[in-house]
Every structure is written in C-alpha cells, then in structure tokens.
Amino acid sequence: MRGRIRPLALAAAAVAAVLARCASVPPPDQPSGAFPLDPRLELEGPFDDAVSRGWRALAAGDPRTAAHAFAEPTQGASARAAAIGGVEALVLVGRAEEAVERCASMLDPEVPNPTTPLLTACGEAYARTGQPARAYELYARAAAHAPKMPRVEARSEELREAAVERMLDEAAKDAAAGRRDAARAATARALAWAPRSASLLVRAGDVACALGDREEALADYREALAAGGLDADTQARIGEVALEAGDPGMAVSIFERLSAEDPRFRDRAAEARLAFRIANWPDAERQASRARRLTRSAAASLVWWMFPEVREARVTSGIVATDLLERRDNRPMIRAVSLGLLDVDPDTHRARPDAPLTRAAAARLLVRLAATLGNPRARPECLRDAGALRGAGTDAIRVASRCELLSESGGSAVSGAELTRGLDRLRSLFPAGEVAGRD
C-alpha cells in the first residue's frame, strides 16, 4: 500500500511544481493592445500567485479585482511587477492622477531599466490626465524598447500628434505673453518630435512671427510652401508677412501663383510686384514711396522715376518757380511744373516743393498726367474727361477715385504709398503711353 502511495505523492508533487512554474512565468502570448501589458514582462521571476491573479483580472477587464491582488504583500521581482500592475489598475479604474503620483517615484532616473509595461502604464496615466507631451515621451521610449509591439508604436504615434499640438499651443501662448525662451523651447520640442509637415512649419512660423522674428518665420514659411498642400488663405497670409518683412520677391511668387487661379488675389499680386520694384529703386525714390506725408518735391521725383515719358517730354512752357532755382534736386520739380502737373502760385511764383502734397493736388497731378498719356481717343472710360479737369480739385478727386488712382477720403495729406499705388495703377492703364510735347 505504501508503495502505491509513494508514486502518487511524487506525481502530485510534479503537478504542483508545474502549476507553480506556470504561475511564476508570464504566458508566451500577450494581448495585442498597447495597454495594459503583463506587468511581469522583462522581469525575472519567480512571481507570487497574487501577481498572476492580478494580471488575469486585468486581462479579463476587471481592474478592481486586479488592484486588490496587486496590493497583496510581495517581495523581489513580484513586488516590482505588482507595483506596475497597480499603476495599470489605477488608470483603468479612473484614478489616473494617483497613478501619476506613483509613476513619479517609479520612473526616477536612479531606478535603472524601466520595463515596457511600466513605460506604457505611466504613459497612459499622463495621457489620461491631459499631459500628452509627457505621455508621448514615455510611449516613444516603450516603442523603442520593444520594437516588436506594433500596437505600442501605434499608440505612440497617436500621442505624438496630440503632444505636438499641445506644444505648439503652449508656444503660441508663451509668444503672446512675451515669454521668448519658453516659446522657442516648446517650438523646438514640437519640431523635434514630428516630421516637418507644411502645417507644422506654418505654426512654427506663426510663433516666430509673434515673437517678432520675421526672418525665422519666413524660413519656416518657405519650407512649408515647398512641402505643399497649404490652402490659398494660408498662402496669402504668408505673402502678407513677406511683404511686411521686406521680402517682396517671396510675396510676388505667392500672389502670382494665387492670382493665376483666383481673381481675388490679382490686386495683391500687383501690389507685391510694385513692392518688389520699389525695393530695387534708388534710396531717394524708395524713401519717397514709403513717406507717411509726401512732399510736393518727393511726388515730382516719383513721377520722374516711374514715367520715363515725363523725363523725355519736349517742354517749351515759360512757367518759372523762384523757389526751385537754387535747389540741387530741382529737375523733377521743374519738369512737373512745366508740364502742369503741379501748380505754381500766380502771385508769389512759388511751387512750395517742401509743402505736403494735398489730396486735391495729388488728384490733379494724376488726372493731368493721364491727360498727357497716350491717344485721347484710346483712354479708359474713367479718364475720358481728364483733359477738361485741368484746375478743379474736387472734380479731379472724383475722377481719380473713379479710376482707382486715389481714395476720396483718407485725410488732406497723401502718403507716399498711396501716390505710388496710384501712379502704378495709371502706368498699367497706359503701358505704352507717351507724353505729348507742348508747343
């Protein structure tokens, strides 16, 4: 009888050893999800039965039971696995804030070799407490640590997109508040995390623009335009920044392309072309075109520069302005007076070259210049009666406004930019105009 009992006892002991080994070694096949993972992964057992029960409960979707199991006293590798499982259970029962507190100590830099389950558990905890940047960092480490887990990689990509968005939002807020270093750091972090897509580069450029770093912004915008896929309004906004930042060449390329497909951008394309030409003008004319209050002499210089016909016109008028004779820059002004583009006071014989150009005088200049250009029978409809308005200020303003050469309102004085636009518009109406000689 004893002989029979002994073999049975040995068999029972062998079965018990197999069961104990099964309880201490993770099953070979893990669930396919990125979270939760078996907390025993990458740890060397043996493991207590509490850890095995906790994992079975997690895998079965019962995190409360799992939390109780993981809370049982354990030692060694079991204690570490139970701590990881406890974080996973806290996240799954909606106590992610508490899980984050535990992760702070478990992820201490002095604790070596964090496992993939720990990284994903803490990553999920940060994700569910609205901290996608920290969540992505942990999931990215997990994906690099366990490259054969596609779901971990997929979750890492999800969090990367959210993290980049959050970083750029924070960068924009920091830029608006004047926190330059913080804005730059957040932008750099976002650019380091994500492929340099067009949309990402535009947002990085927007942050640089808000900080006043126009050159850096334009560099980001150029790269975004090269990447392609930007909508027309975004491209137009970049074109406006390019104009403001003093890069009319970039603005021309943008608005020319847009105007070829959408007529609402044609005016901006024309303005960009003008800005590009102005950027290459001599200093005096360039400064005149940008003057806030344009003088009569500066207006004459703009006409002289923009209309070669004025420089080459044959003039025999005997009008003399005494205040022009001693000026070194008198040639454009004398020509404007001789052609009747600017008036001379009949009593004092003064042309007042340094006086502000009034709106009425600017309108008369534009209308009179139009009357001398081209064939009178071929003039645009809006300028048909230009020749009959040699002296009327209000009528000249009306005609100039009708032809979009000048605004009817905007103050008594005219800026260099407004007159330059008017002259450029007039130039486009008479691309091959000729000034009639005066006999």
Residue 349 pLDDT = 86
149 CB burial (10 A radius; 0-12, 13-18, 19+) = buried
Alpha-carbon distance of 380 to 237, in angstroms, equals 33
Among left, alpha and beta (phi > 0; psi -120 to 50; other), residue 76 is left
Please say whether the beta carbons of 420 and 274 come within 8 A.
yes
Tokens of 263: 């007529």
Residue 375 pLDDT = 67
Alpha-carbon distance of 192 to 207, in angstroms, equals 16
Count of residues making up the chain: 439
DSSP bridge pairs for 373: 435
Residue type for 293, please?
R
| C-beta neighbour count of 375 within 10 angstroms | 10
Q: Is the dihedral of CA 399, 404, 408, 414 positive or negative?
A: negative
Residue type for 261, please?
E
Q: What is the pLDDT along the chain (439 residues), one digit of tens a residue?
A: 444 434 434 344 443 443 333 333 344 334 446 899 999 999 998 999 999 999 999 999 999 999 999 999 889 899 999 999 999 999 999 999 999 999 999 998 777 789 999 999 999 999 999 999 999 999 999 998 877 888 999 999 999 989 999 999 999 999 999 999 999 999 998 888 887 889 999 999 999 999 999 999 999 999 999 999 999 999 999 999 999 998 999 999 999 999 999 999 998 999 999 999 999 999 999 999 999 999 999 999 999 999 988 888 776 666 778 888 888 888 898 888 888 899 988 888 899 999 999 999 999 999 888 888 766 666 777 776 665 555 557 888 888 888 889 988 777 889 999 999 999 998 888 765 444 433 3
| C-beta neighbour count of 236 within 10 angstroms | 18
Residue 385 pLDDT = 65
In the chain, what is the straight-line distance between the N-terminal and C-terminal CA atoms, in Å? 147
Alpha-carbon distance of 257 to 110, in angstroms, equals 57
What is the CA angle 179-183-189, rounded to 5?
150
Tokens of 318: 């005997």
Residue 68 pLDDT = 95
DSSP one-letter code for 436: P
Alpha-carbon distance of 385 to 132, in angstroms, equals 68
Task: Identify the three-state secondary structure at position 415.
Answer: coil
DSSP bridge pairs for 413: 358
